[in-house]
Structure formats: structure tokens, C-alpha cells
Amino acid sequence: MRYFIELRYLGAAYCGWQRQPDQPSVQQTLEGALTTLLREQIEVTGAGRTDTGVNASYYVAHFDVSEAVADPIRTVYKLNFLLPGDISVWTLTPVSDEAHARFQAREREYRYYIEPRKNPFTRHLTWQYYVPLDLERMNRAAASLLEYEDFTSFAKLNSNNKTNICHVMRAGWEERPDGRLCFTIRADRFLRNMVRAIVGTLVDVGRGRYTPEDFRAIVESRDLSRSSAGAPAQGLFLSDVRYPAGIFIRQSDLR
């Protein structure tokens, strides 16, 4: 029987979502807790990879188990007891055996947070960047992302991507009431390090190194060497994963 899990995690202690030899990962940690709790070997498939140090305020994964879970709410409670404090499971939902957390996800959303002042309480969850930024210029540049499909300029080398084609549906910055800057980007798929490279380049637009037209030229160049250094991992959050209604309907209100 197959179940979807909704969870969230802080990425600082992990090499990312995906299991890696001799390095702690979110996938491996979750699998260990499920195997202990359900008393059979459990393998978990996630909605996608997150890199070292990247967080997820919302994440979806699936696993198969030989018998139905008798009490999903109680199981979530026990699972959270076994998991470390930086991983939290919210729901456990039975789905069709054909439902797939990765291949049937239609949209994914990331958010990146910049703290424009020194703040000891947000330093592990934001990029603390003190140079004044022009959000209007950054949003003009970000809007152009919706006009392109090839994001080779922001694709990490040697990532074994079959294609660098992505379809961006939303990209833009806003200033939150607490003063933090938030960049939200939604697409059908993302390349490794793509969001951090985009954020780093947009920040260079905001501080005047590039114009919005320069940013457009960088995208069109399909040349990674022309984009800026990637923004630090701790400010990046996977914030949403969406599926067709017939596959899975979001159960939690995590944002």
C-alpha cells in the first residue's frame, strides 16, 4: 500500500534530501525512522532533490508498506518522536499505488529570503545582505524569466541533466512587513542550483552591477560563466509541490 507524507525540514545538518554515501540526508533519516516504526524495510521517494543546506517549509514524499497503517494520526505522532528536531512530519495519506511523489508533481515553488540588516535570530534562515537593493529593477529582471525555457545560464555543470528546459510560471520579489525580502519562483521543474544562481544574479541587478537588460542577455547567452555566484543555501526554502487533483490533494496548511 502506498502513502504520501507531507513534511518540513531544516537543511543545515544534511547533505540535501537525497541519500549519499557516508553523509546524513533527509531521505535516509526519514527512511530509518519509518523502518523502525513499521518494522519492515522502507524506501522513500521524494518530490525532488534539495541541495546541501537547503530547507523545505513544505515537502512531499511517498513510500510503500505491506499492510495498511491502522492509525495514520498516531503513526505521525510516533514518527515525529523518532525523528530529530529538524524534521517534522505533518500528514500520512493513503493514495493509489500508481501515485508518484516525484514524477506526477506538476509544479514546484521555492522562496528565498534576504535579511537586509544584522539579525541574530534569522542568520541561519536568511541571507543577511546589507547593501541596499532596488526591488523594482529586480522585479523587472525577474519578470523576464517567464519568457524563456532554456536555463543553461543557471544550471550547475556536470549535473547530468537530460534537458535544461523549465517552464517558469511565477517569479518576483516582495518586501515583507518585517523588512525581509522574499523571492518566490514557481516552475514545472528546477535545475540543480538554479534558484540560488538566479537569486545571486538578481541581487547583482538590485545593487546596480547589471541592468534588467543585462540579466535578459545572461539568460539568452546560455553561458553559466556569465551568471553571478549562487546565493547562500540557508535562505532557500522549497515551499510548495502541486499535483493533479486525482493524484493527491494537499492535506496540510504548511507554507
Give the tens place of pLDDT for each residue, 47-83: 999 999 999 999 999 999 999 999 999 999 999 999 9
Inside any domain, residue 231: yes
Residues 167, 124 within the same domain: yes
Alpha-carbon gap, residue 5 to 247, rounded angstroms: 13
Average of pLDDT values for 169-179?
96
CATH number of the domain that 76 lies in? Answer: 3.30.70.580
Looking at the structure, do residues 41 and 122 belong to the same domain, yes or no? no
Whether pTM exceeds 0.85: yes
CB count in 10 Å sphere of residue 190:
23
Q: Band the pLDDT of 255: cuts 50, 70, 90.
A: low
Cβ neighbours for 207, distance < 8 A, ≥ 6 positions apart: 131, 132, 133, 134
Catalytic, 51? Answer yes
Within a domain: 253? no
Whether 189 maps to a domain, the answer reads yes
CATH number at residue 225: 3.30.70.660
Domain encompassing residue 9? 2-104
Return the percent helix, strand and coil in the chain, to nearest 5: 25, 25, 45
Check: CB of residue 209 under 8 Å from CB of residue 227: no
Residue in 22, 51, 86, 150 annotated catalytic: 51
**194 contacts 15 by C-beta, under 8 angstroms:** no
Q: 239-252: per-residue pLDDT in tens?
A: 999 999 999 988 87
pLDDT in tens, 154-164: 998 766 678 99
The tens digit of pLDDT for each residue in 92-119 reads 999 999 999 999 999 999 999 999 999 9
Do 63 and 42 contact (CB within 8 A), yes or no? Answer: yes
172 with 227, same domain?
yes
Give yes or no: residues 89 and 116 share one domain. Answer: no
Residue 254, domain member (yes or no): no
Residue 250 lies in a domain: no
Give the residues across from 174 on adjacent strands. Answer: 182
Number of domains the chain is built from: 2
* Residue 167 domain flag: yes
pLDDT over 70 at 42, yes or no: yes
114 plus 91 within the same structural domain: no
Q: How far apart are CA 26 and CA 30, in angstroms?
A: 6
